[in-house]
Structure 1
């Protein structure tokens, strides 16, 4: 208790003592305690039996200080003495219910109001009306509104804005128009409520049209209206309208408003106009955190992650008081643009800086943990969310399911999913995607059927994961049935992603001609994903003719993607067409393209280690290569000969064996063996598809070393145990 409050209580107690001696104990003393927030002391002074006036005094004070829990406690206690609240007291209870979003008690109070006849009181009616608006029960609010004898601008504006927030364009405009027809002229607050409501509900065009109508009506916008319409312009309309509003704001002299400045930075960021965004920011007299956050988000949207990082570091050096939104935006930026290590480091720095992560930060961080299989970091984030009591937030929950699946712990993902009380569609899709990634088609189809039993309606993402699961397991007939059911049973028009899955499903199963026929009969123009699925399948089955067709389509669609050239080169190499291999590589050289090096990640002691094929810079590389040589000898003795078929270069057999030893996933696994205790599991992420020789190597290690090895390549997870892979050698 503060010193000031102790003195205050002492003073009140002194008066209390005097009044006891003088016999003047009455509601004035109760009021004195209550108005100094000494509610327990005030409650002890209630007469026996208590009267309505004593309760009213304390309830008024509790409501005045926004002590909602105590207000309802007193209200409940008052009713237990069969004391009936009057029309002046009821709004205090309704206000408390609105603060706590307590619908059950509010409905009970509404029932009492109806039976007691208090609904005729304008203040009671208005309190209930605004309560229903706040909790989103617009039907109840509309019923009260229609019964109001005198509808003022405040109530009309509030109802119209409520409909706008619910994206109910028809009712919002109806209420707004009737307000004007009845002689109640909308003010700036009325227009702002409509603009903000439509913006919040994603009705961006409606928000812009309302702003335009307000301008035509002769009203001058304020900072709130400008700040409300600019996000909609950025989302929907674009730069031309934004530039017009910019000129208007300059004309009416609102550009000095900090909120307007931040809204312009955000709008230009959404329009990917980095030059204009930076110009607005540089014109600021004082750099505030809102503008900083808008600038970071804008740079992130444009994919300028390095510039965003540099800007963030500059803000730190300038001692700008960055908040949780600033740090979360930067973590999300890194996580979304392949800067996973940086995202993890930012999360650590954020906590060191004393900024407390929230339920938005964790879902932004967890994808970075999953991307590089940083399981210990993901577990730490999970523990943090439990300590902060937001682990059951639906967004945190879906991100945790996704993270555990991406780190190879699909059983853990399912366990956590089962703990969720009301998983939404995103959570179901996260689990379904996890099963697809692990090639667990049976479990994926079971989850899909469970969704239907629970009444969860699938979407396009659901079918992408389902078809991918069928593709990983070669379930051609099942995949065809699910693809056909999209439109026939669920009313979902197949998109490019589903066609790409079907091409992959057919192609991987060796039905390349059927896959090509599907592409040529598509109602959509095939994109790079579709042709890429065919080219990858041609690489698996060494089909040169269709591979060339797919590759040259991809050269047109993605002229600067080196992966497409490498796949065609590999098809030629597998057929011994070395001249054609040289031609493809000459094309790459002429375009300044280089093959992406094989890269693998493995976590050890809370640090993620990256190993590159052919890179000698790792401090333990000499030990890794020495151990790899020993294992190669041991493999040969055990009958595991190196499969040099997977070296697609025209070199001697011995050189091919040497090349195979340098594959990054082998280096990562050996690094793990050298640095972890015998028998512990290893988790590796690979940026390319695992080759057959490395696949055999992992099988051998899982037997000889008694290790469980999880390898996630670009296609799927491979779980090696006792010499067997979960993919069944189909990948």
Structure 2
């Protein structure tokens, strides 16, 4: 530093009474800036001893334009320290235009080639994001020193040009310039952004050799480097060896652990941090909220939220977004919304957190509303936004909306990466558009295991069992190795006895790979075997399972009940209770089904009492099942009691009670309840009219039956099924109106089934109408001859 500069520094670093007076003069002159500026000129021309202190004060206060104006007035001689203060202020405040004006003054003064001033020029341009200007400034330095090289390396690193930063570091070593602590920090940051593990470790060895490992800034950068390279434990080793740690050290290790889902360690370290007397800042809380989100630790998250308020830490957009994300992932979307509404400034991260949160919690419509608001705010959606939106469309089954979002992704030319592609495939599959899902899958430039699993599960869910199996075989040839999720999706494709052999082949592959012990796979195997009608195989899988959860027991109980093994279902339920497993609503649904099949009123009452004890007596679908169970057990009084005491009823509840009355010949009660249902504004379904028409048939109410059939078609727009046609034919036949029955059959818009003709044939025999009986028999023979196999086999096929 020149002697004159040192003298000025000594004189101006101690702001005494004269300096305070000068500061007040500078402040008052600022009001005149842009006017006469006499006061400002007077300060510059008559207070020379305090000129350096004056400019530095203005720069420290961010009043760069005023400082530059003083320097313009004082053209005769400006010390280099003045330029340094001004350059630092321009860089700190990212004032590129002012920085370029300052650069022009430096060029006039002939200091551009000076290593010290040049280094600060490079640093200023780097901080302002003008990397080309930084390069030009660096190249004009006549003899760059370590500060010059470091400034350029840091500028490259901060601008995302990490490779150039590393290349420059190598050039610096060739020039025999010894790096300092800030050089190592810049190069480590470049290695971290590239996840260049090998080069970073080589640098770590150089740092140890240089004796700088204990340097606070270098140690913090080493922790960050290892965390970003996925070696958080190596980062912890650096952290644990540090003699001195600041809040940055703690934040870096907390962020590292939070990033890789080690939420428990984050919370433990936070308490250790407090014990060591380190005061947390906003970055600390961002990491803490992320940890709570990964653990779904709502109470801990709420406590941290209170700590944030208590410590009066600024709720900036980053902290607010992390807090919203934490509440959303902890299933407290109301708290997330409250924080969002109170946030003064919101960025796209905050909006995304809400959209993703709503979509994950089955509130797709609110997610869509937020997306529309986001666009009205003028914010540009990101990949995360679109992923949240597509998941919302999937949960709503909103195919048109999903296609609209897909078109927006295409219009904005988003790269169809694996994550976005998988979300699109999943959305289309869940919206029953497997063709669109297949098109996206085929166009994906790269697919991972999730891609194949989503497509296989999509085919299986839509009943395309053959395509699911073919895709699985293709995956084995050219895709990744299947995992448990693959088999869970594939097994759902085998849902009838026709696919039993294919299901067994897949089971063999599962055993070969070693996934049979997987709990989810085991549960799906049980379900698959029951759907394929192989009860023994299902039982065998269940008995061989080392670990069983409530889903395993539920699958067995429901499977036994549906296949007519009610006693076995109840035995298994008792065994489940003995083993201490808590029954859920699905368990009781299977048990209710079993009791209904047994027609055991005593068992039914025991099960009902247990449902009450478990606090499930208000569940609508369980109450509906109880009504059906009591009806099958012959106790319509209990069935009606359940129906009347239900806090909420849906169409299934009404159907169960109407069917119960119809089943026991209580036609008046059944039809009265149906009319009450209509008055309540509950729209009947196909199954409702099956019960109503059956009741009319039993009572011989031909006119009423015809009226209800017409109402079903005209008033409710329900297309009649073969079951409805069967009820009407049975209605005419029971009333002896064989001509009406035949006319109805012949006028049907669909081909009559074998069962329908057999109903008519039985009625003809009962009424001794041989001619019509022969006609019915001819129709039956005609239908069965068009099918493969014998008439009896054809009949079985038709029933199936």
Does TM, scored on the shorter chain, surpass 0.5?
A: yes
Partner of 2:723: 529
Separation (CA, whole Å) in 2 of partners of 1:97 and 1:85: 16
Aligned partner of 1:365 in structure 2 is 556
User: Following superposition of structure 1 onto structure 2, how do residues 209-608 of structure 1 map, counting pairs within 5 Å?
Assistant: 209-236=404-431, 238-249=433-444, 253-254=445-446, 256-274=447-465, 276-284=467-475, 285=477, 287-289=481-483, 290-300=485-495, 304-306=498-500, 308-316=502-510, 318-319=512-513, 321-322=515-516, 323-336=518-531, 339-340=532-533, 342-343=534-535, 345-352=537-544, 354=545, 356-383=547-574, 385-386=576-577, 391-408=582-599, 409-422=603-616, 423-451=618-646, 455-456=647-648, 458-489=649-680, 491-522=681-712, 523=714, 524=717, 525-537=719-731, 544-549=738-743, 552=746, 557=750, 559=752, 561-578=753-770, 580-592=772-784
CA distance in 2, matches of 1:553, 1:388: 59
1:419-460 alpha-carbon deviations (Å, 9 max, x no partner) = 331342211111112123334322222111110xxx32x222
Q: How far apart in 1 are the matches of 2:561 and 2:547?
A: 22
SS at match of 1:298: coil
Per the alignment, in what secondary structure is the counterpart of residue 533 of structure 1? helix
**Structure 1: stretches of 5+ with no match in the other structure:** 1-34, 37-52, 600-611, 613-687, 689-713, 715-731
Report the Cα offset of residue 520 of structure 1: 3.6
| Aligned residue number for residue 386 of structure 2 | 191
Deviates further, 309-318 or 192-201: 309-318
**Structure 2 unaligned spans of 5+:** 1-231, 234-246
Shift of 1:155: 2.9
User: Conserved in 2, the CA contact under 8 Å of 1:118 and 1:124?
Assistant: no
Structure 1 equivalent of residue 358 of structure 2: 163
Size of the aligned set, in residue pairs, is 532
Flag the 1:245–1:100 CA change in 2: closer, same or farther, 3 A.
Answer: closer
> Would the alpha carbon gap of residues 362 and 158 (structure 1) be closer, same or farther in structure 2, given more than 3 Å must change?
same
TM-score w.r.t. the length of structure 2 is: 0.57
CA deviation digits over 1:252-298, x for unaligned, max 9? x22x4222122222333445545544443222235514333333323
Structure 1 residues 388 and 185 mapped into 2: Cα distance closer, same or farther (>3 Å)?
A: farther
Report the equivalent of 2:315.
120
- Do 1:165 and 1:198's aligned partners in 2 also have CA atoms closer than 8 Å? no
Tell me the alpha carbon deviations over residues 504-549 of structure 1, each in whole angstroms, 9 at most, x when there is no partner. Answer: 1122123234323432443244332222223445566665445445
- Change in Cα spacing, 1:351 to 1:152, as seen in structure 2 (3 Å) is farther
Question: RMSD of the TM alignment (CA)?
Answer: 4.5
Instruction: Report how far residue 153 of structure 1 moved.
Output: 4.0
Cα pair distance change 1:119/1:389, threshold 3 Å: farther
Deviation of 1:111 after TM superposition, in Å, equals 4.6
In 2, the alpha carbon distance for the partners of 1:76 and 1:428 equals 49
**Structure 1, residues 390-421: CA drift from partner, whole Å, max 9, x if none?**
54333333333233323334334323332331
Change (3 A) 1:351 1:264: same
**How much has 1:148 moved relative to structure 2?**
3.8
Q: Deviations over 1:577-620 (max 9, x none)?
A: 455444433432332276769x9xxxxxxxxxxxx9xxxxxxxx
Please tell me whether the aligned partners of residues 363 and 395 of structure 1 are also in contact (alpha carbons under 8 angstroms). Answer: yes
Distance in 2 (alpha carbons) for counterparts of 1:431 and 1:497: 18
1-structure distance, mates of 2:451, 2:513: 23
Q: 1:111 to 1:259 in 2, by over 3 A?
A: closer
TM-score computed with the length of structure 1 as normaliser: 0.62
Q: Greater share of helix residues, 1 or 2?
A: 2
Relative distance call for 1:226 and 1:123 in structure 2 (3 A) is closer
- The residue that corresponds to 2:401 in the other structure is 206
Task: Supply the distance in 2 between the matched residues of 1:226 and 1:112 (Cα, whole angstroms).
Answer: 40
- Structure 1 residues 488 and 100, CA, compared in 2 at 3 Å: closer, same or farther? farther
Local SS of the residue matching 2:431: helix
Report the counterpart of residue 229 of structure 2 in structure 1: none
Question: Separation in 1 of the partners of 2:673 and 2:273?
Answer: 61
Return closer, same or farther for 1:235/1:316 CA change in 2, 3 Å cut-off: closer
Q: Contact 2:254 / 2:288 at 8 angstroms: preserved in 1?
A: no
Change (3 A) 1:575 1:334: farther
- For the Cα contact (< 8 Å) 2:390–2:427, is it kept in 1? no
Larger Rg: 2
